[in-house]
Structure 1
Amino acid sequence: MSTPRDEVRDHAGITGRASDLLSGSGQIAVAMMVMNVATYAYTMSAARIIGPTQYGAFFALMNLLLIVSVVQLGLQATAARRISAEPGHVGQIEREILRVSFRSALALGVVLLVSAPLVNRVLDLDSLPTAALAAFAAMPLTLMGAQAGILQGERRWRQLAVLYVLSGVPRLVVGLALILWQPTEFMALLGVTIGFYAPVLYGMAVLRHPRDTGETDARHGLLPIVRETVLNSQALFAYFALTNSDMLVARSVLDAHDSGLYAAGLIVTRTVMFLPQFVIVIAFPSLSSEVNRGRALVASLSIVAGLGAACVVGTALLPDLALVFAGGREYDEVRDILWLFALLGTTMAILQLLVYSVLARQGTASIVLVWAALAALVGIATTMISTVAALLATVLVVDAVLLVVLLVISAVMLRRPRAAGTASDADGASSPDEPGPSIG
C-alpha cells in the first residue's frame, strides 16, 4: 500500500516529467522551425541566384538525397525506440547504433560514388563531380540520424534542438556564400554537403563520452539493429512514397497548367504536414515505452489534429493570404480549394504520427497497408483522373481510409495486454529472449 509520502513523490515525478515534456516541446518546436525556415530560405535563394537550368539539376539531387534520407530516419527511429523501451541497455544500444550508422554511411557513400556516372546520366546533370558530391552529402546525413536518435531516446531535448538548428543554419550561411561566389549547381550542393557536417561534428562532441556499458543483451547486437533499421527505413519509404506520389501522378495525368496548379496547392499541404513534426519527435520515446503509450498516442493525435484543424479553418477564412504562400495570383484557380489542400496536409501529418506509432511497437501488417494504399492511389489516379479537384479528392479519400484503418489497428493493439516476460508488444509468439513482431 502506498503511503502519503510515496504519493507525493509520485506526483512530483509526474509533474517533473510533464514539465520536462513541455520544455522539450518548446525547444524542439523552435529548433525545427529555425531549421525549416533556413532550409526554405536557402532553397528559394538558390532558385533565384543560380537560375532555372542549374536549379533543376540541384533540385533533382536534393530529391535523391531525400530518398536516401530514409536510412537516416530509420536509424533515428531504431535508436530512439530501443533506448526508450529498454533504458537499462542504453550503453550497449548507443555503441551498436553508432557502429551501424558508420558502416551504413560508408556503404551508402560507396554505392552513390560508384553510381555517380548513372546518376549523372539519369538526372541529366552534365557534371560528374556534382553527381559524385551526392555521396559525400549522404554520409554525414546518415550519421546524424543515429546521433539524433540517441539524443531523442534519452530525451536530451536541448542537445537535440541544437542538432536540428545546425542542420539548417550552416547550410544557409555557407551555401549562400558559395552560390554568390559561383552560381552553379555544384556550389549549391557543396553548401548543403558542408552544412551536413556541422550537426555531425556537434553530435560527436556531445556523445564523445559514451554511457556505461550497463546491461547487455543479444537483442541489441549488430544484426538485430541492422534488421530493425532496414524495416524502419522501408516503412518510412512507404510513407514518403505515398505522400509524394500525387505530384508525380499529377505530371502524368494533368496538363502542364493544371499540374502547376496542383503543385501550388501542395505548398499549403506540405506546410501543414510539417508544422506538427516536433510533436512526433517528442512523442516517439513515450510511444516506444511500455508505460502510458496509449495515453501518449491520444495526446499526440489531439495536438496534431488540433494544429491541422486550425490551419484548415484559417485557410478557409483567409484564402487570399494562403494564396500568397501558394504562389500568388497566378494560381488563383486553386484559391477556393486551398483549404482542402490544408486538410490533406493534416491527414498526412496524422498518418505520419500513426506510422511512427507502428514503428514504436514494431508492427508489420500496418506498413503493408501503407504500400497497398500507394498502389490503390496510383492505380485509381492514373486511370480515372483528369482534373485538379478530382486528383485532390482521390488522394484525400485514399489517405483518409488508410488513416481510419490504422487508427482502428492502433486502438486494438494498444489495448491488448502484453504477455508477461516478453520484450515487445508482440501479437504472435514471443519469448523473453527474442520478441516476435507485432502484426499491427
Structure 2
Amino acid sequence: MTDDSTRGVRSMIRSGAGIAVAMAVMNVGNYAFTILAARLLGPAEYSVVASLMGLLLIVNVLSLGLQATGARRVAATPERRPEIEAGVMAATYRSALALGLLCLLAAPVLSWGLGLEDWLAAATLGLVAVPITLMGGQAGILQGEERWAALGLVYLSMGVGRLGIGVVFMAIDPSALSAMLAVAVGAWLPPLVGALALGHVGSRADRRAATAGGVRVLQEVASNSHALLAFFALTNLDIVLARATFDGHEAGLYAGGLILAKAVLFLPGFVVVLAFPSMASQGRGGRTYLKGLATVGGVGLAAVLGATFLSGLALTFVGGAEYVGVERDLWAFAVLGSLMAMLQVMVYEVVARQHGSSVYVLWAGLLAVVVATQMAHDAGELVRAVAVAHASVLLVLLAVAVRRPARPLELPSAAGSPGP
C-alpha cells in the first residue's frame, strides 16, 4: 500500500471515529433526556412526551430531506459548491418558516387527537420545527463537503443542549409541557453552531444563480423528504397509535420499551452519515449499502443478546421498576430497533439513487402497523407485530435494490442554469 493510500485510510478511520463519538454523545444525551423524562414524569405523563417526540421525528423529515439533498448535490458537483450551497440554504430558510407556521396551526388538532388537556404542549412542535429545519440544510452542506469535525460539533450540541436544558426545566416543573419546552429551547443550539461553521454561504452571484434553480432544489427536497417521511412514519406512528388505543399505563409501558428500540436504532447512526456521500457520488456508491447493513446488523445482534440475557439491566435504562411489565419483551424491542436501523440504511440508498417508487413499500408497511395496533391487546403483542411488518419491508427493499441497477446521477447543467 502506498503512503498516500495509507494516509487516506488513516484519515477515513479518524473521521469515522470522530463522527461515531459525536453521534454517540448526541444519542446518549437524547437518551438520557428520555430516561430523565420517563423517571420524573411517570408512565401516563411520559406517554404524552413520547407521542409528541414521535410526531417531532416525523416533523424532522423535512430537515433530513434538506440534509440529504444538500449532501447529495454538494458531493456530486464539487466544482460548483458555492452555487449549490447557496441554493440549499435558500430552500432551507423558506422551508423552516413554512413548516413552523404549519405546526403551530395544527397544534389544536394534534392536542385533540392525543387527548391532551390543552394545546400548549402540542404547540411546541412548531417552536422546534424552525431550528431543526435550519440545522438540516447546514448539516447537509457539511456532510457533502465531508467536514466531519464541524458536523460532529453540530451533532454534539444537539444532545448536550437538550439534556442540559431538560434537566433544568423538568427540575423546576416535572410536566410534559416543561419537557417539550426544553426540547424547543435546546433545538436552537445546533443551527447556531452550524452558522458559525459555515459562515457566509455563497456570493451574491452564487445566490442569484441558485435562485434560478430553486424550484428544482425544492422538488428534490420534496422527493427526499417523502422517502424519509415514509420511514419515520413507519418507525414512529406506533407510539402515537398506542397512545390513542391503549390506556395511559399500557401506552406508557410500550413507550418505555421503545426507549430501548430507539437506542438500538440511533447507536449505529454514524454508519449512514459516513456512507451517504459515497452512495450519492457519481461512480463511488456501488453497493455500499450492503456493508452498511452488515455493520448495523452486527450492532443490532449484540443489542438483542444483551436485552435477552441482561433484561434486568436493560430495564434500568428503560425507566426502572415502574416499567417492569415490559421486561419480558425487551428482547423484542431490541429486535425492532435493529430492524429500524437496517431499514434506515436502505431508505438512504433509495434517496442516494433517487429510486422514488420504492417509497411505496414503506407506506404499505405503515398500513400493516396500523392494522397490528388495532388487533394487539398489550405492549408485547404490539411490538412483535410491528417487528414483523418492519422485517417484511426490509426484505422487499433489499430485493429491489439488489435486482435494480442504480440510476446514474444527473449532474447540474452549465453555470448559471438550473440544476437537476
| TM-score normalised by L of structure 1 | 0.81
Q: Take 1:190 and 1:256, find their aligned partners in 2: how far apart are those partners?
A: 22
- The farther-off stretch of 225-234 and 186-195 is 186-195
1:321 aligns with 2:308: no
| 1:368-391 Cα deviation digits (max 9, x unpaired) | 1111111133235535x4465543
Question: Residue 107 of structure 1 corresponds to which residue in structure 2?
Answer: 98
> CA separation of 1:317/1:400 partners in 2, compared to 1, >3 Å: closer, same or farther?
same
1:246 aligns with 2:238: yes
Q: Take 2:138 and 2:243, find their aligned partners in 1: how far apart are those partners?
A: 37
> CA separation of 1:157/1:379 partners in 2, compared to 1, >3 Å: closer, same or farther?
same
1:159 aligns with 2:146: no
SS in structure 1 of the partner of residue 355 of structure 2 = coil
- CA shift for structure 1 position 394: 2.6
Question: Residue 376 of structure 1 corresponds to which residue in structure 2?
Answer: 368
> CA separation of 1:343/1:49 partners in 2, compared to 1, >3 Å: closer, same or farther?
closer
- The farther-off stretch of 153-162 and 373-382 is 373-382
1:221 aligns with 2:221: no
- The farther-off stretch of 158-167 and 371-380 is 371-380
Q: Take 1:337 and 1:63, find their aligned partners in 2: how far apart are those partners?
A: 21
- CA shift for structure 1 position 182: 5.3
In structure 1, give the amino acid aligned to 2:270.
Answer: F
Question: Residue 404 of structure 2 corresponds to which residue in structure 1?
Answer: 413
Q: Take 1:347 and 1:120, find their aligned partners in 2: how far apart are those partners?
A: 31
In structure 2, give the amino acid aligned to 1:208.
Answer: G
Q: Percent identity?
A: 42
> Which one of 165, 175, 182 corresponds to residue 174 of structure 1?
165
1:272 aligns with 2:264: yes
Q: Take 1:400 and 1:143, find their aligned partners in 2: how far apart are those partners?
A: 33
Q: Take 1:323 and 1:53, find their aligned partners in 2: how far apart are those partners?
A: 18
> CA separation of 1:317/1:250 partners in 2, compared to 1, >3 Å: closer, same or farther?
same
- CA shift for structure 1 position 101: 0.7
> Which one of 176, 183, 190 corresponds to residue 199 of structure 1?
190
- CA shift for structure 1 position 411: 1.6
- The farther-off stretch of 170-179 and 45-54 is 45-54
- CA shift for structure 1 position 396: 2.6
Whether the 8 Å contact between 2:230 and 2:359 is mirrored in structure 1 is: yes
In the TM superposition, 1:278-293 aligns within 5 A as: 278-293=270-285
Question: Residue 210 of structure 1 corresponds to which residue in structure 2?
Answer: 201
> Which one of 250, 271, 290 corresponds to residue 298 of structure 1?
290
- Rg larger in structure: 1
In structure 2, give the amino acid aligned to 1:95.
Answer: A
> CA separation of 1:115/1:405 partners in 2, compared to 1, >3 Å: closer, same or farther?
closer
In the TM superposition, 1:38-437 aligns within 5 A as: 38-46=29-37, 61-116=52-107, 118=109, 132-181=123-172, 187-210=178-201, 221-250=213-242, 259-328=251-320, 331-332=323-324, 334-383=326-375, 385-386=376-377, 388-414=379-405, 418=408, 423=410
- The farther-off stretch of 389-398 and 302-311 is 389-398
- CA shift for structure 1 position 285: 0.9
> CA separation of 1:321/1:188 partners in 2, compared to 1, >3 Å: closer, same or farther?
closer
- CA shift for structure 1 position 66: 2.7
Q: Take 1:46 and 1:247, find their aligned partners in 2: how far apart are those partners?
A: 16
Whether the 8 Å contact between 1:32 and 1:165 is mirrored in structure 2 is: yes
> CA separation of 1:68/1:37 partners in 2, compared to 1, >3 Å: closer, same or farther?
same
SS in structure 2 of the partner of residue 269 of structure 1 = helix
Question: Residue 429 of structure 1 corresponds to which residue in structure 2?
Answer: none
Whether the 8 Å contact between 1:98 and 1:147 is mirrored in structure 2 is: yes
Question: Residue 414 of structure 2 corresponds to which residue in structure 1?
Answer: none
> CA separation of 1:263/1:112 partners in 2, compared to 1, >3 Å: closer, same or farther?
closer
| TM-score normalised by L of structure 2 | 0.85
- CA shift for structure 1 position 15: 3.6
Whether the 8 Å contact between 1:287 and 1:294 is mirrored in structure 2 is: yes
| 1:270-289 Cα deviation digits (max 9, x unpaired) | 22111111111111111111
Whether the 8 Å contact between 1:57 and 1:124 is mirrored in structure 2 is: no
- CA shift for structure 1 position 25: 1.9
- CA shift for structure 1 position 16: 3.6
Q: Take 2:213 and 2:234, find their aligned partners in 1: how far apart are those partners?
A: 32
Whether the 8 Å contact between 1:100 and 1:226 is mirrored in structure 2 is: yes
- CA shift for structure 1 position 83: 1.1
Whether the 8 Å contact between 2:169 and 2:178 is mirrored in structure 1 is: yes
SS in structure 1 of the partner of residue 283 of structure 2 = coil
Q: Take 1:238 and 1:165, find their aligned partners in 2: how far apart are those partners?
A: 27
In structure 1, give the amino acid aligned to 2:237.
Answer: S
| 1:280-311 Cα deviation digits (max 9, x unpaired) | 11111111112331242222122111111121
Question: Residue 438 of structure 1 corresponds to which residue in structure 2?
Answer: none
- The farther-off stretch of 347-356 and 327-336 is 327-336
Whether the 8 Å contact between 1:89 and 1:214 is mirrored in structure 2 is: no
- CA shift for structure 1 position 349: 0.6
Q: Take 2:322 and 2:41, find their aligned partners in 1: how far apart are those partners?
A: 23
- CA shift for structure 1 position 191: 3.0
Q: Take 1:42 and 1:208, find their aligned partners in 2: how far apart are those partners?
A: 31
> CA separation of 1:42/1:355 partners in 2, compared to 1, >3 Å: closer, same or farther?
same
Q: Take 2:171 and 2:320, find their aligned partners in 1: how far apart are those partners?
A: 27
> CA separation of 1:268/1:113 partners in 2, compared to 1, >3 Å: closer, same or farther?
closer
- The farther-off stretch of 72-81 and 403-412 is 403-412
Whether the 8 Å contact between 1:89 and 1:216 is mirrored in structure 2 is: no
- The farther-off stretch of 347-356 and 178-187 is 178-187
In structure 2, give the amino acid aligned to 1:98.
Answer: M
CA RMSD of aligned residues (A): 3.5
Equivalenced residue count is 414
Whether the 8 Å contact between 2:70 and 2:85 is mirrored in structure 1 is: yes
